[in-house]
């Protein structure tokens, strides 16, 4: 169909094949990992909130490993769900236990008792022991258990507030890990530790701090297969570095300098680098202008070569097999997330997250835009235009302005089914990488320190205004949307810029900074210290920037969505705002979903969520 064959229809009401049911049916893919012999690839899928492990021997169909257990790391926001070594798979389940399962036939068996929560298992080179991160009643440790689960787990490392990414030296005689303390977050400053082990069971004999500090974050230590080197990512200065430490003589060298390498460790098990089997190359991910790419660096010569993975624009979690085959997660604006592998220049697709039934002409082509904020700084966003193979509109489209969570997250150019849901109906869609977002340098990320509730709000409003100024959206039909930290920004934007937005869509948003600081989970309980300021000194800021104390200024309709079991932003945060909206006669909807936490996982919830949003926008934006 040519452009001139398209039917003219009002923006926002285009019939679309991208239904709430289609979104609800998509599965999440995470963490592809190779077994030691390089012949089996294992990954995790999230199906309606159920975490499932799949194994695929080379040349065969995949099979399930986890039975009816829900595979999910339970420390902080999760992640670090499983590991495998020499045919043995160890995984964390939602019940707080570690389980073992051999590849091939068999059933999972628990190897730790059910108390607290577990994540990031790591199997010793001899297959006898499993180190893991454990949290119980607010205390984090690195635990150790025998791989058969015969004996009660013991504490291997303790004393820090948080632990992440324990890894074994191939000799089995040492481990490395990342640790940090309150009030830091893992992207503020962490310590890379190296511990010498002795005895049976292994005990920590000596530990030393190799790198990092209060304002130098470290991510993902990785030993070379020959045990000579330890590599890791750090952020020192404006940009990031890939560092190589020679364990034989203690020297370090910077292999890669500059660019965005360090992803914020919101979850356990974030992987951005992987060694080749000959210990000569490191594959690493680097992102720029919303696009990520895979490179390899020679650890001897320092030569860097790009790895061609076109047409994919968004890459994650690289894993290299014993035969040098690289597996990773990959997607692009017109390709939903896949588990792929690359060998000899040939790409193999192992799994797809969707049916990939949406025609390409119905999927938007996003691109990066920027604008100058009201205080003179450059701010970035990813813009997706209204896109349909069958319809076009006259004039300017309504627009959704999306504020990501975190706030130390970011949005990139890749497959975005939510964006397509709106753009295929005739909306423009802007994702704002406001100041505080990762991937634009340290100064940009740290600009939000002491300014959360101020600069993010300016940048959200600035993004909306940029769409208008650049002729990309109808100024009378702007919508602001987001969840968690993004929901907080939305509420503040509706308070400070009444009338700029026709409506707001807020999912599990923060409304009261005081109660957030008291009620949230351990991982973030001191996050507001840096984002706003420590209490009681910053109490005035907490009051000035908490939406609940200024809710009478909200005049525009709001739809609020909340999980009943959310431990990060408890339902009380949404309910306080709902009460204020009710008292002030502001048009609003409140949807509380039983059995859901921070983020909606069940298929039926996700379907109901998009159905409710579509109705809400029709009522208040398109026909309002």
- Could you tell me if 63 and 54 are in contact, meaning their C-beta atoms sit under 8 angstroms apart? yes
Q: Take residue 575 and report the two structure tokens written for it.
A: 């309910």
Judge whether residue 594 has pLDDT over 80. Answer: yes
Average pLDDT over residues 562-571: 92
- The per-residue pLDDT for range 309-333, each reduced to its tens digit, is 999 999 999 999 999 999 999 999 9
State residue 83's pLDDT score.
98
Q: Take residue 289 and report the two structure tokens written for it.
A: 């202008």
Question: In the chain, what percentage of residues exceed pLDDT 70?
Answer: 99
pTM of the model: 0.95
Report the topology of domain 22-352: Methanol Dehydrogenase; Chain A (2.140.10)
- The per-residue pLDDT for range 43-79, each reduced to its tens digit, is 999 998 899 999 999 999 999 999 999 999 999 989 9
State residue 4's pLDDT score.
67
Radius of gyration of the chain (CA): 24
DSSP 250: -
Distances (CA, A) of 137 to 114, 115, 213, 398: 13, 10, 26, 48
Give the list of residues 6+ apart from residue 164 with CB closer than 8 angstroms, or none: 80, 120, 133, 177, 178, 179, 186, 190, 265, 268
- The per-residue pLDDT for range 350-377, each reduced to its tens digit, is 999 999 999 999 999 999 999 999 999 9
- The per-residue pLDDT for range 107-120, each reduced to its tens digit, is 999 999 999 999 99
Judge whether residue 524 has pLDDT over 80. Answer: yes
**Which class is domain 359-598?**
alpha beta
Crossing angle (nearest 10°) for helices 455-469 and 485-496: 70
State residue 3's pLDDT score.
58
Q: For the chain, what are the domain ranges? A: 22-352, 359-598
Q: What is the dihedral sign for C-alpha 581, 583, 585, 589?
A: positive
- Could you tell me if 83 and 121 are in contact, meaning their C-beta atoms sit under 8 angstroms apart? yes
CB atoms within 10 A of CB 521: 16
- The per-residue pLDDT for range 206-238, each reduced to its tens digit, is 999 999 999 999 999 999 999 999 999 999 999
């Amino acid at each position: 169909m040519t452009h001139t064959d398209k039917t003219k229809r009002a923006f926002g009401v285009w019939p679309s094949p991208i239904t709430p049911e289609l979104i609800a049916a998509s599965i999440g893919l995470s963490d592809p990992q190779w077994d030691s012999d390089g012949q089996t690839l294992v990954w995790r899928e999230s199906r309606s909130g159920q975490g499932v492990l799949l194994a695929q021997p080379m040349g065969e169909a995949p099979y399930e490993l986890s039975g009816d257990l829900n595979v999910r790391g339970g420390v902080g926001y999760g992640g670090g769900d499983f590991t495998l070594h020499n045919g043995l798979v160890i995984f964390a389940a939602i019940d707080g236990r570690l389980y073992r399962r051999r590849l091939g036939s068999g059933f999972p068996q628990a190897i730790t008792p059910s108390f607290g929560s577990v994540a990031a298992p790591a199997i010793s080179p001899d297959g006898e022991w499993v180190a893991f991160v454990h949290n119980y009643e607010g205390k984090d440790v690195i635990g150790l258990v025998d791989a058969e689960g015969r004996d009660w787990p013991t504490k291997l490392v303790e004393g820090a507030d948080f632990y992440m990414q324990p890894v074994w030296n191939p000799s089995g005689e040492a481990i490395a890990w990342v640790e940090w303390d309150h009030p830091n977050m893992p992207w503020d400053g962490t310590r890379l530790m190296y511990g010498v082990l002795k005895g049976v069971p292994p005990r920590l004999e000596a530990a030393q701090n190799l790198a990092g500090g209060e304002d130098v974050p470290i991510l993902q230590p990785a030993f070379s297969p020959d045990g000579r080197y330890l590599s890791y990512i750090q952020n020192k200065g404006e940009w990031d570095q890939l560092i190589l430490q020679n364990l034989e003589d203690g020297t370090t060298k910077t292999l890669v300098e500059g660019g965005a390498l360090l992803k914020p460790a919101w979850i356990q098990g974030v992987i951005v680098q992987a060694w080749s089997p000959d210990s000569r190359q490191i594959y690493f991910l680097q992102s720029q202008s919303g696009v990520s790419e895979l490179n390899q660096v020679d650890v001897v010569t320092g030569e860097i070569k790009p790895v061609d993975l076109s047409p994919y624009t968004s890459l994650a979690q690289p894993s290299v097999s014993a035969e040098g085959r690289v597996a990773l997660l990959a997607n692009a604006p017109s390709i939903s997330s896949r588990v792929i592998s690359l060998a000899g220049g040939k790409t193999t697709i192992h799994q797809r997250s969707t049916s990939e039934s949406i025609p390409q002409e119905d999927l938007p082509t996003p691109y990066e835009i920027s604008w100058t904020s009201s205080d003179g700084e450059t701010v970035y966003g990813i813009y997706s235009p209204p896109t349909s193979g069958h319809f076009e509109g006259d004039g300017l489209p309504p627009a959704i302005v999306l504020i990501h969570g975190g706030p130390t997250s970011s949005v990139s150019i890749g497959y975005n089914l939510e964006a397509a849901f709106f753009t295929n109906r005739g909306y423009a869609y802007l994702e704002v990488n406001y100041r505080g977002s990762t991937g634009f340098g340290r100064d940009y990320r740290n600009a939000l320190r002491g300014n959360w509730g101020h600069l993010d709000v300016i940048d959200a409003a600035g993004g909306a205004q940029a769409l208008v100024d650049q002729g990309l959206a109808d100024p009378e039909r702007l919508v602001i949307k987001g969840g968690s930290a993004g929901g907080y920004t939305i509420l503040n934007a509706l308070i400070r810029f009444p009338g700029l937005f026709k409506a707001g869509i807020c999912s599990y948003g923060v409304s009261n900074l005081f109660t957030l600081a008291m009620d949230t989970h351990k991982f973030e309980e001191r996050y507001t210290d840096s984002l706003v300021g420590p209490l009681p000194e910053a109490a005035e800021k907490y009051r000035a920037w908490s939406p609940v104390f200024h809710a009478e200024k909200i005049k525009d309709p709001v739809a609020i969505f909340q999980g009943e079991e959310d431990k990060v932003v408890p339902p009380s945060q949404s309910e306080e705002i709902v009460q204020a909206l009710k008292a002030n006669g502001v048009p609003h909807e409140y949807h509380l979903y039983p059995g859901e936490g921070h983020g909606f996982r069940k298929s039926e919830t996700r379907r109901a969520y998009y159905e409710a949003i579509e109705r809400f926008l029709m009522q208040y934006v398109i026909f309002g």
